[in-house]
Every structure is written in C-alpha cells, then in structure tokens.
Amino acid sequence: MKRHRNVKIVATLGPASNDYAMIRALHEAGADVFRLNMSHGDHAEIRARHAIIRQVEKDLDSPIAILADLQGPKLRVGVFAKGEEELVPGAAFRLDLDKAEGDATRVCLPHKEIFDALEPGAHLLVNDGKIKLRVKDCGATFADCEVIVGGTISNRKGVNVPDVVLPLAALSDKDRKDLEFVCELGVDWLALSFVQRPADVDEARALAKGRAAILSKIEKPAAVKNFDDILAVSDGIMVARGDLGVELPVQNVPPIQKQLVRKCRAAAKPVIVATQMLESMIESPMPTRAEVSDVATAIYEGADAIMLSAESAAGSYPIEAVTTMDNVATEVEADPTYTEIIEASRRAVRTSVADGIVSAAREIAEATNVKAICCFSQSGTTALLVARERPRVRIIALTSNIGTARRLCLSWGTNCVVTGEVNRFKDAVIAAVRAALAQGMATKTDMIVVTAGVPFNTPGSTNIVRVAPCEERLIYASETE
C-alpha cells in the first residue's frame, strides 16, 4: 500500500473491527500496524484476528505489522456490599487484605506487595485518578488513608501508586501465557505494560527468544526516571499517556512526551504516541479541534507512529478515525514548517560506518534530484538508521526477511518490500530500481540512492552508498538477463 505520509498509524482491533471486510478497509484507509489488546478477548478471538490480518496482507501484497499488547499486572480494589460508596474529602478510608465486602470506611486491596512498599505520605489514585487518597499509617496488611479528592468508588476499580516503585514484575502469570501464545502465533511486536526498570524488558526478551521485537510502554513515573536504561534494552517505545497522565501531574505529560520522542529518534528506535488521540470519535464521526491539534503535535515532534485505541476497537466510526489520522498526517507533512522542525531537531550521530553511510545517503538525496533512498536490510537496522535521518525523500526498505519487513511497518517513512536474496551489489541496485518503479516512487528517467552492506546477508554491515540512474540500471539488467 503506497502511503502519502511518513508517520505510521496503529489501529487497535476489537468488537467494532473484527471481520475481514473491516480490517481490510482499515488497512486501505491507512492503518499500517494492528494492535491486539491482550486485556480483551480470549486466545480464540486473538487467533482469529491474527489470521484475518495475515489474509489481508496476502490479498493486498502489503506487509502489515501486528502488535500484541500484554495486559501487565492490574491493581484493583475488591467489591462493596452495596456495589459502590461515596467518599468525601477529609474522611478516613482503609485499604486492607480482608476479603470481606467493603463499605464507606474500608475495602479490600488484594495486593500484599503494595502494602510492603507503601510509606506514610504516599498517594493512591483510584478509578483513573478520580479519587485521591493519602496514606497516614500503614503496615503489612493495611493502609489507613485520608480522602484528599472524593467521589464514587465502586467494585474492582483500578488503583495507581505513583509515589513508589512497586516490587511487581511487569509480567503476570497471564502475561507469560499470553506472550508464549502470541509468539507462537507469529506477532511482530510485543508491547510490555507496567515497565519500571530495564530488568522488566530483559525478562520479556528472554521469554520471547527473538520471535518478536520488544516495545516498552512508558506509563509509570519510575519508567520516566529510568528511561535511558529502558530505551537501551528495548526495540521500541510507546508513550502511553493515559496512565502516565494519572500518575503524574497532567501538565508534566507534554514535555515528557517531547523528551521521550527525541531520545527515541536519536537512538533510531520507533516510538508510538498513544492514548486519547481522537477519543471523541468513539461516538462522533468528527474529532474535536483539540484532538486534531494533539495528533498534529505528535507528528511535528517526529514520532514514528500515532495510535488509535477504543476509536477503532469499539467505536462507531473506526474507518473515519483512521481516515482522519491519515488526512491530518498528510496535511502536516506537507507544511514547510514541519520540515523545518524535523530538520532542526535532527541530532548528528556519527559513531560507525553505517551512521556515515546513511547520513551521506540523505545528504546526496537532498542535494540532488534523487527520488528515493533504497536500503537493503536483513535485520532492519540500516532501515532504522535511514529513518532516523528523517530524509525529505521516500525510503524503500528491501529485505528477503518477511519478519523484518513487518517490523519496519512501525518505523517512520519506511516502505517495505520483500525481495529475493541478493548476493551481488549490481543485483541489489537492479532490485532497488525495480522496487522504486513498482512503488511509483521513481520513473525511468529518475535517480535513486542505494545503500547496502557487503558481504550481503550480514546484519550491521552497511558500507556502500551508490547513486543509480534508473534507466541505465534497467538497460544493464535487460542485457544480462
């Protein structure tokens, strides 16, 4: 599928997008990556959605990335005798391990590890932060709190603990089972929830055994604090602004978003900006102006991808939501200011031969009439380095590895083409020219830049850059075939 934009669109699948016709329509409308939310749907439903995506991919001859989003440990209160209670500011309220039904004075919090970590003065946020409690006294089995912000508390509402690093693994027993299931199924990316430290990512990577790339969701203050170390061991990042906005003051989220996006760009690792991007489109065919500005801001920052959650999974207008994102992205990227911002925020990284090659490829392309940069990449590393440069011309990533092509669907500007194995650079140039023509990104009278590594099929060996006149390469190919 030829896109007229560089930023990628991630669409979550769910009850509103559960059959072949809808999933195909979403891809044709602009969805490059489909997210399978492991918090919803059993394994049979996930398997069925996965099969449909792969069928759409085959029918349209267009690589599609599949992202499985693991649920992570969910912290929730127990149940109330009346179903719900009203907490008023200044009132006392106890959380404990007693499984008895709750009332206006107490409720069960069945997570001993929280009590082990709490200290007086810590805050607990209930129901997405709508209720705020401050710990006055605590022990191994209880926390006596004061209600700071009141409201209605009801059965099994979620609890956030922003002030402490909880001694919880990022992977629950359910997550481990889900991880093995989706890796065997054949997903391309694993999104890891509740990341607090690099060790959380290391554990998931050990279990994945190279079957999927690891994307860390940044949704905890501890993850922001440890971000550099987490980024170093992750393949990609999701700025999950929902929980991040609950656990941190909301005014902190925009600058954090900008900082994380820039760090990911510098590291040549894909970054998704997610949560509530077009939330009004769950029920409305039109977004708010503020939502459009929010989407545009993420694109101006240089994010690799922007994500739809309930808008495409459970909303009434999933196709319209994807189309809106596509239209906003196309308009923003056509703005001269966008190019100025992207290039002003580019960081020069020159620590390897590959860094120098991709930088030279961009400079050649932008200083001449070259139409595209074509890079051969078995592991995907070279394509990610080219994408980090954010060139003004199109990027074509050629690989014989379908898994690499799918994973690169998340990376900024990469148009992925699966080709046969290439053993000579001349053959690589011919394959690149044919791909550029087939993708409509060049004509016979145009030139392209080709990057590759010799010897071929060796990850991380990028060491050649060549300007190739398309017509000349085609003549050579016809004479030698």
| pLDDT digit string, tens, across residues 12-25 | 999 999 999 999 99
253/251 Cα distance (integer angstroms): 6
- Tell me: the pLDDT tens digits for 140-155? 999 999 999 999 999 9
**pLDDT higher than threshold 80 for residue 456:** no
**pLDDT tier at 128, thresholds 50, 70, 90:** confident
Q: How far is CA 91 from the centre of its chain?
A: 41
- Within a domain: residue 345? no
Asked whether residue 3 is assigned to any structural domain, the reply reads no
Residue 86: phi and psi, rounded to 5, are -105, 120
**Has residue 476 got a pLDDT over 60?**
no
pLDDT, residue 474, reads 62
From 160, 191, 207, the end of a domain falls on 160
Say if residues 190 and 180 touch (Cβ distance below 8 Å): no
Q: Which residue has the tokens 């699966």?
A: 418
DSSP result, 389-424: T--SSEEEEEES-HHHHHHGGGSTTEEEEE-----S
Are 265 and 329 contained in the same domain? yes
Q: Tell me if 1 is assigned to some domain.
A: no
Q: Are 152 and 84 spatial neighbours (Cβ–Cβ below 8 Å)? A: yes
Does any domain span residue 139? yes
pLDDT in tens, 310-363: 999 999 999 999 999 999 999 999 999 999 999 999 887 777 888 999 999 999
Instruction: Clarify whether 392 is annotated catalytic.
Output: no
Q: What is the CATH number of the domain that holds 380?
A: 3.40.1380.20
Residues 308 and 212 grouped into a single domain:
yes
231 and 305 in a single domain? The answer is yes
Beta-carbon contacts of residue 167 (< 8 Å; ≥ 6 apart): 113, 116, 117
Q: Are 136 and 120 spatial neighbours (Cβ–Cβ below 8 Å)? A: yes
Residues 138 and 100 both lie in one domain = yes
Range list of H helices, 42-195 = 43-60, 112-117, 173-185
Q: Which of 282, 309, 335 is the last residue of a domain?
A: 335
Whether 79 is in a domain gets the answer no
What average pLDDT does this structure show over 162-179?
89
Annotated catalytic residue, options 35, 132, 388, 473: 35
CB-based contact 63:416 (threshold 8 Å): yes
Predicted confidence band of residue 426 (pLDDT cuts 50, 70, 90): confident
pLDDT for 11 equals 98
What pLDDT shows up at residue 406?
98
377 and 447 in a single domain? The answer is yes
Rounded CA gap, 410 and 443, in Å?
27
Over residues 406-412, mean pLDDT? 98
Q: Which of 76, 130, 176, 466 is catalytic?
A: 76
- The tokens for 13 are 């699948």
Whether residue 204 has pLDDT greater than 90? yes
Together in a domain, 324 and 177: yes
Active-site residue, 297 included: no
Question: Is it true that the peptide bond before 336 is cis, omega within 30 degrees of 0?
Answer: no
Catalytic residue among 5, 24, 106, 217: 217
Same domain, 48 and 89: no
Do 215 and 313 sit in the same domain of this protein? yes
Quote the mean pLDDT of the chain: 93
| More confident call, 427 vs 124 | 124
| 431 and 331 belong to one structural domain | no
Phi/psi of residue 146, nearest 5 degrees: -110, 135
The pLDDT tens digits for 50-104 are 999 999 999 999 999 999 999 998 889 999 999 999 999 999 999 999 999 999 9
Task: Give yes or no: residues 61 and 156 share one domain.
Answer: no
Q: What percentage of the chain exceeds 70 in pLDDT?
A: 97
Q: What is the arithmetic mean of pLDDT over 26-51?
A: 96
pLDDT at 266 (0 to 100): 94
Distance of CA 365 to the CA centre of its chain: 28
Q: Residue 167: its pLDDT value, please? A: 83
Give 195's DSSP letter.
-
Please write the tens of the pLDDT for every residue from 310-320.
999 999 999 99
Q: Are residues 185 and 281 both part of a single domain?
A: yes
Higher-pLDDT residue of 476, 171: 171
**pLDDT, position 475:** 63
125 and 215 inside one domain: no
Final residue belonging to a domain, choices 293, 309, 335: 335
**What pLDDT is stored for residue 473 in this prediction?**
60
Respond yes or no: is residue 35 known to be catalytic: yes
User: DSSP assignment of 363-393, as one string?
Assistant: HHHHHS-EEEEEEE-SSSHHHHHHHHT--SS
Sign of the torsion formed by the C-alpha atoms of 51, 52, 57 and 59: positive
pLDDT at 240 exceeding the cut of 60: yes
359 lies in which domain range? 353-480
Question: Is a pLDDT exceeding 90 seen at residue 201?
Answer: yes
Write the Ramachandran bin of 430: left for phi over 0, alpha for psi from -120 to 50, otherwise beta: alpha
Q: What is the mean pLDDT of residues 428-456?
A: 90
- Average pLDDT score over residue span 190-219: 96
Number of separate domains in the chain? 3
**351 tagged catalytic:** no
- Residues with Cβ within 8 Å of residue 42, at least 6 apart in sequence: none
Q: What does R_g of the chain's alpha carbons equal in angstroms?
A: 24
Q: At 35, which CATH number? A: 3.20.20.60
Which of 24, 94, 275, 324 is flagged as catalytic? Answer: 275
pTM: 0.92
Whether 113 is covered by a domain: the verdict is: yes
- Any idea which of 71-75, 195-199, 284-288, 391-395 has the lowest mean pLDDT? 71-75
Distance in angstroms (rounded) separating the CA atoms of residues 151 and 130: 7
Query: Residue 218's closest CA among 173, 271, 286?
Result: 271
Q: Domain for residue 52, yes or no?
A: yes
Token pair belonging to 356: 């120098």
User: Alpha-carbon distance 279 to 309, whole Å?
Assistant: 8
**Across 445-470, average pLDDT:** 85
| 249 part of a folded domain | yes
Give the CATH number, domain containing residue 120: 2.40.33.10
For the segment 291-303, what is each residue's pLDDT rounded down to a tens digit?
999 999 999 999 9
The Cα 442–Cα 453 span in angstroms is: 23
Check whether 288 has a pLDDT greater than 90: yes
